[in-house]
A and B are shown apart, each in its own frame.
Chain A
Amino acid sequence: MTTILVVEDEPEIRRFLRASLGAEGYRVVEAENARRGAIDAGAHKPDLAIVDLALPDLDGKELIRQIRGWSSMPIVVLSARNQERSKIDALDAGADDYITKPFGVGELLARVRAALRHAVRSPTGQPLSLGEARVDLEKRRAWRGTTEIHMTAIEFRLLTCLAKHLDMVVTQKQLLAEVWGPTHVEDTHYLRVYMKQLRDKLEADPVRPKYLLTETGVGYRLVADDT
């Protein structure tokens, strides 16, 4: 049975998380503060942790760092609106994704499923299916319909980096460091230019992308059709 650790100080929020995650068949372990959360993370070895960023005893991102010290379990953080900075900090501290309060349970379950899927399934060699477009990252080839399209080396690297975290958000800093190197983490304009190129090549309507999504002020998220 899949176990989910919920670290959240508000009892009412824990209540509905317990109810909806329980109804989906997950076993839920609850912790009301970061200290308890760190202990439960060790004792119950959950498959995934949901961590509120505003905990009474310790900043949520400190707890994420502690857990990351010994575990690679997926971590989804709960954060308040208009707090892009704290989301980025949590993601850079090792969280895998975030969800903004207030949220609906549909959104939450989608994030949880994506994070769990990602944890058990290492990236397959299967081509990415993005609507009309298909990209084989291993062979570095891409098609639109039946026509092969040209993608540059950097475009492939950017897409590969996003595909490693399929369905999950990747911060701008992570992308810049991985694709252009650690000296370029401030060069966000690189990302804007290359994301536009990727969308122009792969999206049916580049202004309203369905696969290469922008998380404004935070980063990017690649989603793909199920294959």
Chain B
Amino acid sequence: MRGYAWAFAATAACTAAGMAMRGRFDLVNIAMVYLLAVVIVALRYSRGPAIATTVLSVAAFDFLFVPPQGAFSIDDLQYLLTFAIMLAVGLIIAGLKDSLRRQAAAQAQLNLQTETERIRSALLASISHDLRTPLAVMSGASSSLAERGERMSAEERGALARSVFDQAREMSAHVDKVLQMTRLEAGAIELDRDWDSLGEIAGAVLRRLADHAASHRIVVDLADDLPLLRVDAALIDQVLANLLENALRHTPPGTVVQLRARRIDSEVVVSVEDFGPGLPDEAIERLFDKFHRASVEGSTAGLGLGLSICRAIVRLHGGRVWAERVSGGGLAFRFTLPVEPEPSLPAELATL
């Protein structure tokens, strides 16, 4: 619609210009002014407005400038030719414009495909590494048990069976993360918010990670005045678990990992700090990339999805998440959760 308004406006402007030029310039030059209008409209808009401009221009030119003025008469072959040329120019330019636009769209589509392709191959690469290794262990260990089990000591059998179990757990955790990230990316997760206590969520996480965390000392320091938060507890549980597992995985055994939470103004800031080797600043910035991991193809497991899952979950809750270096060389991962006014508390009835 805007294109047609412009067709009309451009013709009107040329007519005004033509009126001013009349007497001093040849009719053919006035026709050139109209041609300019056709070119401009064709460049800015599509074929339709270009044709409209041509028709309007020729009509205005013929009616107002070509003798006899004030009447339509295209008896002169000359002006028919003017009309034909204007139309041809308009159509050619509009055509060029369309094909340019199509090319640009195709290029953008191609860029998007390349990006999707890049992410997909990164995902495949990390899946194939992180899932193949445990699969190899599992098939090796279980076939040893099935085919050679009777020749082994009970101790050896136990160790093999245990490694199948451990690797399966590890793999299951990887698969969960991939699925979770896919769901978060698709926006398929709706928060199931409820009043919850960070301390309780942390307690459940620490209990679950107890075996895993035996190699380190986890120090918990939650402020006494932490308010209840309106969160999806199961998702915040995942954030804490991912951050803690991350710290355990990337720091030497025997070191301390600290879980802290403080209320600062209208937010609760939760930190997981470690005393490991830390990372250079550039690397810290890249930590939250989807498939990044600190040591590429290293023996340390993990799809590198954990942190991007954390970020997606915290953002869904209206919080921020970041990493920074702490004095002593380690890393701190911090996230915030907004504090909302707490609902009124139950009054304990004396009669109960």
Which of A81, A184, A196 has a CB less than 8 Å from the CB of B176?
A81
CB distance from B171 to the nearest CB of A (A): 9
Contact with B along A167-193 (1 / 0, CB 8 A): 000000000000010001001111011
Contacts of B203 in A (CB 8 A): 207-209, 213-214
* Segment at the interface with B among A1-9, A116-124, A152-160: A152-160
Q: Please report the C-alpha to C-alpha distance between residue A217 and residue B232 in the assembled complex, in whole angstroms.
A: 8
Interchain nearest-CB distance for B343 vs A (Å): 5
Chain B 314-352 per-residue mask, 1 if CB under 8 angstroms from chain A, else 0 = 000000000000000000000000000011011011001
Cβ–Cβ contact A189 & B204, under 8 A: no
Q: Is the CB–CB distance between B195 and A189 below 8 Å?
A: yes
In Å, the complex CA distance between A195 and B195 comes to 13
Measured between beta carbons, the chain A residues less than 8 angstroms from B206 are 207-208
The listed residue with most B CB atoms (<10 A of its CB), out of A153, A188, A206, A216, is A216
CB of B192 within 8 Å of the partner chain: yes
Do the beta carbons of B352 and A153 come within 8 Å of each other?
A: yes
Interface of chain B residues 182 through 236 with chain A (CB within 8 A): 192, 194-197, 199-207, 220, 222, 228, 232-234
Q: Is the CB of B195 within 8 A of A215?
A: no
Is residue B169 contacting chain A, with contact meaning CB distance below 8 A?
yes
Interface size on A, residues (CB 8 A): 29
**How many CB-defined contacts (below 8 Å) exist between A and B?**
81
B6 → chain A closest CB, angstroms: 55
C-alpha gap A187/B228 in the complex (Å) = 13
The CA of A157 and the CA of B192, in the complex, are separated in Å by 28
Interface size on B, residues (CB 8 A): 35
Residues in A neighbouring B144, C-beta threshold 8 A: none
Cα–Cα distance between A152 and B351 once the two chains are bound (Å): 11
Residue among B169, B192, B222 making CB contact with A207, cutoff 8 Å:
B222
Q: Which residues of B contact A208 (CB under 8 A)?
A: 203, 206-207, 220
Q: Which A residues are CB-close (under 8 A) to B199?
A: 196, 206-207
| Cα–Cα distance between A215 and B203 once the two chains are bound (Å) | 10
Contacts of B169 in A (CB 8 A): 102
Contacts of B228 in A (CB 8 A): 189, 192-193
Can you pick out 24 interface pairs between chain A and chain B where the beta carbons lie within 8 Å of each other? A81-B172, A84-B234, A85-B192, A102-B168, A153-B352, A154-B346, A187-B343, A187-B346, A189-B195, A192-B195, A192-B200, A193-B228, A207-B202, A207-B222, A208-B206, A208-B220, A209-B203, A214-B200, A214-B201, A214-B204, A216-B200, A216-B205, A217-B192, A217-B237
Give the B-binding residues of A (Cβ under 8 A).
81-82, 84-85, 102, 104, 152-154, 157, 180, 184, 187-190, 192-193, 195-196, 206-209, 213-217
A-contacting residues of B (Cβ < 8 Å)?
Answer: 165, 168-169, 172, 176, 179-180, 192, 194-197, 199-207, 220, 222, 228, 232-234, 237, 342-343, 345-346, 348-349, 352
